[in-house]
Amino acid sequence: MDSRHKQDVVHGGLMTPTVRIAQAMPNRLPRHDFLPRSSRIAKRWLDICGAGIGMLILLLLLPWILLLVFCEDRGPIFYYQQRVGLHGRSFRAFKLRSMCKDADRYLIRHPELLTVWLAQGKLRDDPRVTRTGRFLRRTSLDELPQMFNILRGEMSLVGPRAIQSSECAAFGELGELRLLTKPGLTGLWHLHPHCSQHKTKQEQEEHRF
């Protein structure tokens, strides 16, 4: 397998042409502005103010969260993954770790779970989630470090879900539209986390939103 194909294969799936082109020629993707300049400036300031408040909350809670995570499995407190952002640029999305230390290898050791994760993007009653992690997820505290991504301009408070490159194939032709906006800390996908609709329908609603 040549180097190009090695880079395209992610967790057993192939990256879409949209993502491959976005990574190879990030400056050649269309840059449509859906909002007037004044609205974009106001939205950016709202992101900065909201993220600043979130960072203060994180700093206040961090010592207690650090103690809980460390006492449970003595692993790292923070976790990051590469996500696809605006115009196909890859960035590190930060979170408080809510899973066991070898969460990625756990899926490799359990291919039946990997198949479900690749198809749905999540696992119901995920066995990798720790007791502390369940609390962090239930309260959404695990997402507080993404305020740092918002301050850096990689994410916004509201927008489509930040996805991994391995998930891009599910969006088909709508993938290009997704690349024209920043991923969000919250959005339509957050309002219906347990929606039983088909994934294609969820994706269409997300893009309309």
Q: Which of 156, 168, 23, 183 is nearest to 88 (CA)?
A: 23
The confidence score (pLDDT) of residue 208 equals 56
Query: Do residues 163 and 184 lie in contact, with contact meaning Cβ atoms separated by under 8 Å?
Result: no
pLDDT of 22 over the 70 cut: no
The confidence score (pLDDT) of residue 63 equals 92
d(CA 8, CA 17): 10
Residues 63-70 have a mean pLDDT of 88
Burial status of residue 86 (CB atoms within 10 A of its CB: 0-12, 13-18, 19 or more):
buried
Domain assignments of the chain as residue spans, ordered by start: 44-208
pTM above 0.75, yes or no: no
pLDDT tens track for 91-144: 999 999 999 888 878 888 888 888 887 777 678 888 899 999 999 989 989 999
Instruction: Indicate left, alpha or beta for 12 from its phi (over 0: left) and psi (-120 to 50: alpha).
Output: left
**Can you tell me which residue has the tokens 């770790």?**
97
Q: Where are the beta strands (DSSP E) in the chain?
A: 9-10, 13-14, 78-84, 90-96, 156-158, 184-186
The confidence score (pLDDT) of residue 204 equals 55
Hey, what amino acid is at 34? Answer: F
Query: What is the DSSP-derived secondary structure letter of residue 161?
Result: P
Burial status of residue 77 (CB atoms within 10 A of its CB: 0-12, 13-18, 19 or more):
middle
pLDDT of 36 over the 90 cut: no
pLDDT of 53 over the 50 cut: yes
The confidence score (pLDDT) of residue 94 equals 94
pLDDT tens track for 152-208: 999 999 888 888 887 777 777 777 777 888 999 987 666 655 444 445 545 555 555
Query: What is the DSSP-derived secondary structure letter of residue 194?
Result: T
The confidence score (pLDDT) of residue 32 equals 52
d(CA 155, CA 91): 9
Residues 4-33 have a mean pLDDT of 42
When computed from its CA atoms, the radius of gyration of the chain, rounded to whole angstroms, is 18
d(CA 57, CA 54): 5
